[in-house]
Structure 1
Amino acid sequence: MTKPARKRLRREDWLAAAEAVLAEHGAEALKAEPLARHMQTTKGSFYWHFRDVPDLHAQLLTRWEAAATAATEAAIAEPGSAAARLRALAQALADPGPGRVTEAAIRAWAATDAAARDAVGRIDTARRAALQALLQETGISNPEMAQIIHAAALGMTLLDDTAAARRAAIGSLVDLVLALR
């Protein structure tokens, strides 16, 4: 009797598995052997797709940055007024959906890893710039407001509230800021 053919793993499969392992076990588990065990394959498959573990780390961070950038751009590209787009962006930050666990894990990783810290810094800078631009469109030029909305949205991702509760709360904060105009 022959064994069923195994599905050939792709780099994308490894990166998705690395995200899951990062979310569940933290950055210290992002090594070739534990990942291979998690995927029920050999380390050879890992090294077929990545030069080494730092290469995996770099690609994982690049993947996260691309997804975070796309989510920010999608929120600010929504139709409507600057106030509506500001609210949409703040709500997307407070409720990042399935990437919520990954973002929290990336931020925890950033506490001990310079490359992760740099990636988080770039995303945070871009998000605050987008928030600030939208605030300016509404007539609010105080840059601290962008920082306050960003910090509140990030904090909400740590709460065990429902997505709807997080979105409603950050929406109320945006409405309050807009009322200050």
Structure 2
Amino acid sequence: MTKKTRLNQTDWLLAGFAALAEDGPEALKAEPLARRLGTTKGSFYWHFADVPAYHAAMLDLWAEQATSHIPAALEAEPTPVAKLRRLSQIIATHRSESLGGVKLDAAIRAWSRANPVVAERLASVDGQRLGFLETLLNETGITNPEWARIIYAADIGMEDLSARDSNDNTSAMGSLVDLVLALR
């Protein structure tokens, strides 16, 4: 008789990210997740007080992963222009990276359309990312805040295109930033 591996909180969160990306937010309930993991709902409730607490833990992990690495990555760059170029690459690369093997930004955006709590967290992450862009644009002499929105919106749209054609957006984001820098 083999002993079953005990699931931890991270196992549940990663299963939730996969379920969200594959089946949408309706799959983020204790019973479907337990079936996905081949266990009981009791294991779910051992780690999370309820489904809203589970959703909050998912959003916490996603938000942390989506923004925490940016300041350290920019610190190594010598100039505001280099930092801006690096940030555009981070943003483009982040969307093609995953959490637990699952690309999440598009799934989080879709979930946010029907869930105000998710929408609020997404707005917070978007605000942080836009803040990084606005700061760096200002440091390069570009003070119109609309450019940050244009760059960020272009990235969101490129992510959607990549979901269909699997193209890497890193070069396209770099070209857009270079174009914006040429306008200053």
TM class, shorter-length: over 0.9
The answer to whether residue 4 in structure 2 is matched with residue 6 in structure 1 is yes
Distance 1:13 1:79 in 2: 36
Residue 98 of structure 1 is matched in structure 2 by 98
Q: Following superposition of structure 1 onto structure 2, how do residues 68-83 of structure 1 map, counting pairs within 5 Å?
A: 68-83=66-81
Equivalence map 1:38-57=2 (5 Å): 38-57=36-55
What residue is the counterpart of 1:110 in the other structure?
Answer: 112
Q: Which moves more between the two structures, 43-52 or 64-73?
A: 64-73
CA drift of 1:117 comes to 0.1
In the TM superposition, structure 1's runs of 4+ consecutive aligned residues that sit over 3 Å from their partners are: none
- Given residue 28 of structure 1, which amino acid in structure 2 is its aligned partner? E
Match of 1:29 in 2: 27
One-letter amino acid matched to 1:131 = L
How many residue pairs get matched?
178
Return closer, same or farther for 1:94/1:36 CA change in 2, 3 Å cut-off: same
Identity across the alignment (%): 49
- Structure 1 residue 112, shift from structure 2 partner: 0.3
CA 1:172–1:137 in structure 2 vs 1: closer, same or farther (change >3 Å)? Answer: same
In structure 1, the residue corresponding to 2:32 is in which secondary structure?
A: helix
Q: TM-score, normalised by structure 2?
A: 0.91
TM-score with structure 1 setting the length: 0.93
Cα separation, 2, equivalents of 1:30 and 1:78: 39
Separation (CA, whole Å) in 2 of partners of 1:27 and 1:78: 38
Residue 23 of structure 1, CA deviation: 0.8
Is residue 172 of structure 1 aligned with residue 170 of structure 2? no
Mark the runs of 5 or more structure 2 residues left unpaired by the alignment: none
Supply the AA of the counterpart residue of 2:18: A
| Unpaired runs of at least 5, structure 1 | none
